[in-house]
Amino acid sequence: MPKSTRELPSKKPIIRLPSPVESFLRSESSSGVILIAAALVAFIWANSPWASSYFEMKHATTGVELGGFSLMKPLELWVNDLLMAIFFFLVGLEIKREVLIGELAGFQKAALPVSGALGGMLVPAGIYLAVNWNQPEFVNGWGVPMATDIAFAVGVLALIGKRVPLALKVFLLALAIVDDLGAVLVIALFYTAELDVGSLLLSFVFVGVAYMYGRRGGTSGFWYAMIGLISWYFMLKSGVHATISGVLMAMSVPIVQRMTPRELTKEIQSRMGGSTFEEVVVHIEDVEGIIKRSHSPLHNFEHGLHPYSAYFIMPVFALFNAGVALGGSGEGAMVSLATLGVFLGLLIGKPLGVTGLTWIAVKLGITKLPDGVSWFGILGVGFLAGIGFTMALFIANLAFGEGAALDQAKIGILSASVVAAIIGLVALNRAFGKPSSEHRAEPSAKTKTA
């Protein structure tokens, strides 16, 4: 007679905490949605019956006047010069962390994303120059298609879900950070009109003051902000774009932890225990305080500023810079060789450069592809790198200033970013296929036994 089978109790699933990289990618993907919404609002507003109010808002002048001191700017420039300096400060913190202890620490880890980033900067710039070589009014925009928008790119990547290997997500993240570093260097070296050496040196002096403050154990965000504001002002007066002061200030922030892992573990273990719920909660709060105090100033600033950057600064920047009025007339027509150069640079140059130089580096034995990552996956990430948006719009403002050429470049950025996102999404979806079914055929109710 068949014996009834006994069902074994199923094991409870183990809760796996997300890694720092996964947490960062998750926050970037959610901020990308808000960024898209802000860009759409700006674009629709600039082409609506209320378009005049949009441009009046951008050009409304405000500032600070105190005695003989005066600093007045249009709202758009306050956003692009001051708010974006905070964004670049955060970029600088991310670059420093990744280079010292993250995905860019050491030659083996850095070689793959650095190769991809270099290709993704050089090839788009080359394509743009090939299109606009004989166009003196447009040639200065070669830096525009070099940039990648990490929030948009990660947001699109998140649509694929968990099918994308974490190694490929890390590759995109590291590539975008190297790309940001390249953009910072391009801005500092090539988009500086006139240089006031005295003001530049004074800006450097205050960066040095911040560095010494950090070396002596200073951790106050207030004092870093005050010193950074003075450095920003002198950088603004020097002729170098003021956002560079944000990156330099980030380099002054210490990353050294106050406790070793062994000391931290010992301290946490000594605080654990308790026989009642309330006692356990109190001990957990103590442990949270210990962990918070053990973090480096760089860690605290990065995690403290990231929500403000992702959910306020970048959407505000998109609102002020993505509004392009279509239907220009005469010389203000919305399509030009600048549009074409930016479009082809981002859409063709990025995937070609990222994939091509990565392939060369692998073939030369300099680096290797991570496990589970295919060349088709690298190509898909190359297309996502063609989503320029925030950084591309920022460099376009520096390259062209106000006028038709800026609007034409913006059309190239926006259209290429949309098409690159769609192609990248399709390519990655194809590369990793549909999620495999985890459900097997249910066993029959009766089982035969000997």
| Contacts of residue 252, Cβ cutoff 8 Å, sequence gap at least 6 | 207, 208, 210, 211, 213, 214
% pLDDT > 70, the chain: 79
Answer yes or no: is pLDDT of 36 > 90: no
Banded pLDDT at 8 (limits 50, 70, 90): very low
Average pLDDT over residues 198-206: 94
Rounded to an integer, the average pLDDT of 87-103 is 86
pLDDT for residue 245: 93
Say yes or no to pLDDT of 247 above 70: yes
pLDDT value, residue 260: 60
Report whether pLDDT(390) > 80.
yes
SS3 152: helix
122 token code pair: 């050089």
Q: Supply the pLDDT for residue 213.
A: 94
By C-alpha distance, which of 231, 225, 229 is closest to 205?
Answer: 231
Nearest to 284 by CA among 299, 296, 300, 273: 273
Residue 145 in tokens: 């298609």
Instruction: For residues 159-170, give the mean pLDDT.
Output: 80
Is residue 184 within 8 Å of residue 247, measured between CB atoms? Answer: yes
Q: Which of 129, 239, 172 is nearest to 428 (CA)?
A: 172
CA atoms of 158 and 148, how far apart (whole Å): 16
d(CA 28, CA 33): 9
pLDDT tier for residue 307 given thresholds of 50, 70 and 90:
confident
Please choose, from the candidates 264, 319, 422, the residue with its C-alpha nearest in 3D space to the C-alpha of residue 44: 319
Specify the pLDDT at position 19. Answer: 53
Residue 2 has pLDDT above 80, yes or no: no
pLDDT at residue 264, as a whole number: 62
Q: Which pLDDT band, with edges at 50, 70 and 90, does 163 fall under?
A: confident
Q: 1 or 409, which is more confident?
A: 409
Distance (Å, whole) CA 442 – CA 11: 18
pLDDT at residue 408, rounded to an integer: 92
Residue with tokens 């003989």: 68
What's the rounded Cα separation, in Å, for the pair 224 and 210? 6
pLDDT of the residue at 86: 94
Q: Tens of pLDDT along 395-409? A: 999 999 888 899 899
Q: Is the pLDDT of residue 351 over 80?
A: yes
Residues 6+ apart with CB under 8 A from 202: 234
pLDDT at 360 over 80: yes
Give Cα separations from 86 to 82, 299, 431 (angstroms).
7, 16, 37
Query: Crossing angle for the helix pair 221-238 and 243-251, nearest 10 degrees?
Result: 140
| pLDDT above 90 (res 1) | no
Q: Which of 8-12, 340-344, 410-414 has the lowest mean pLDDT?
A: 8-12
Tokens 């003196």, located at residue:
136
Rounded CA-CA distance 7/23 in Å is 37
Non-local CB neighbours of 367 within 8 Å, separated by 6+ positions? 108, 111, 112, 115, 358, 361
Is 69's pLDDT higher than 60? yes
pLDDT over 60 (residue 436): no
Six token digits for residue 69: 């001191």
Check pLDDT > 80 for residue 280. Answer: no
Q: At 21, is the pLDDT very low, low, confident or very high (cuts 50, 70, 90)?
A: low
CA distance 39 to 152: 11
Average pLDDT of the residues of the chain = 82
Is the C-alpha dihedral spanning 378, 422, 347, 89 positive or negative? Answer: negative
Packing angle, helices 314-321 and 84-100, rounded to 10: 130
Q: Is the pLDDT of residue 211 over 60?
A: yes
pLDDT in the model for residue 153: 82
**How far is residue 376's CA from residue 369's CA, in Å, rounded to a whole number?**
12
Taking alpha carbons only, the member of 133, 145, 138 closest to residue 344 is 145
